[in-house]
Structure 1
Amino acid sequence: MRRVVGALAALVLLAAAVLGWLVAREPADGSAEDLSAADSGAAFVASAEVGDEVVAAAEEAAARVYTYSWRTLSDDRAAARQLLVAPVVDRYDRTMAGLAPGARRDHRVVTATVAGSGVVHAATTYARVLVFVNQRTTADDLDEPRTDLDRVLVTLTRVDGLWRVSELDAL
């Protein structure tokens, strides 16, 4: 039990350190609005409405991108691709192409659920959200279902009025 508590405490500290580092980092698009927020050393949220929008978009994207079934690979891929922009969509396509043969062979089903999330930065056209994703995997090659706990930094860009994923970084 002490090992589990120690491991969880270490994960929380690591997540806090990563979050602090991300807040202090210069944004990828280098916009003036984002630079001033990053220079302040604190999380920036343009408004409560923007914060709510980016959290919802990031959570939906993380769940869709990290969920797939051997039976519905094409549909799962199409649903996830709608939430992505280049070059993320290209990397996603390559990843799915690599996963597909094993998924079909082993009858793999991966279900991703969002355990929590938090806004790192949210401007009117650019945002970063840290999403905690639990992936439950069942497959013929597994004796019992496996659960993986992942942290994903989702970078979003507003495209034609909709938030789309412009970067996914597993932490």
Structure 2
Amino acid sequence: MAAISTLGRALPGNGRGRLVVFLGALTIAFGVAAAWLHGQAGDLAGAASARNDALTDNARTAEVKGQITTAVNTAFSYNYADVAKTEKAAQEVLTGKAVQQYNELFALVRKQAPAQKQVLTTTVTDSAVKSLTADDARLLIFADQRNIRTDKNETSYSAAVFAVNAVHADGAWKISNIDTLTEK
């Protein structure tokens, strides 16, 4: 209040006129500050989105989706008669931490698939690229799985949703991390 009184005495005219001028100046000051802050926030948001090629590069986004779809279909489909073939093919589309994760997941398959005569077919039905840079991507994967147990002549169907990280290496996108989206 003291600042308003001091400013009011410095402005010419009657008290009411001085208050109007002061409030107008204050409004302009707030408007300029708000515009500047909005610009700063926009720059930060713009910088983040500018680093995400998934928002701007349709060709690269389609490339990573296509290659990772093929990788998932390959790595997560197997036939009990030749699980080694699936493991070998998976190693070509996986890298880094994903190799260890896959080997841990596939250990159970090696044990159960031949005994139960299982054939699992995984088909990616859709995927979304959350983030994409020159050499890294994160995708959300939606897949249908058909599991046939030929020992009991049973077929079951299920859906799977998980995320993967991918890296671009040696001219191809490879899965570098598998995130089953379970709480840890």
Q: Does TM, scored on the shorter chain, surpass 0.5?
A: yes
Deviations 1:41-87 (A, max 9, x none): x8844511210111012211111121011011011111111000122
Aligned to 1:101: 111
Please give the residue correspondences for 1:1-171 in structure 2 after superposition, counting only pairs within 5 Å: 36-37=47-48, 44-45=54-55, 47-140=57-150, 144-171=154-181
Q: Comparing both structures, which one devotes a greater share of its residues to helix? A: 2
Question: Any conservation in 2 of the 1:155–1:167 contact (CA below 8 Å)?
Answer: yes
Q: Which protein shows a greater Rg?
A: 2
Contact 2:101 2:178 in 1 (8 A): no
Q: Residue type of the partner of 1:148?
A: S
TM-score (norm 1): 0.70
- CA distance in structure 2 between the partners assigned to 1:78 and 1:37 by the alignment: 38
- By how many angstroms is 1:147 displaced? 0.7
Instruction: Tell me the residue number matched to 1:11.
Output: none
Structure 2, gaps ≥5 residues long: 1-46
Alpha-carbon displacement from aligned partner over 1:111-160 (angstroms, at most 9, x marks no partner):
01111112111111111111111010011465631111001212111112
Count residues with an aligned counterpart. 135
The answer (yes or no) to whether the contact 1:50–1:123 under 8 Å persists in 2 is: no
Q: Which has the higher contact order (CA 8 A, sep 6+)?
A: 1
RMSD: 2.3
Instruction: Say if 1:45 and 1:123, in contact at 8 Å, map to a contact too.
Output: no
Distance across 1 between alignment mates of 2:89 and 2:179: 20
Structure 2 length normalisation: TM-score?
A: 0.66
Partner of 2:141: helix, strand, or coil? strand
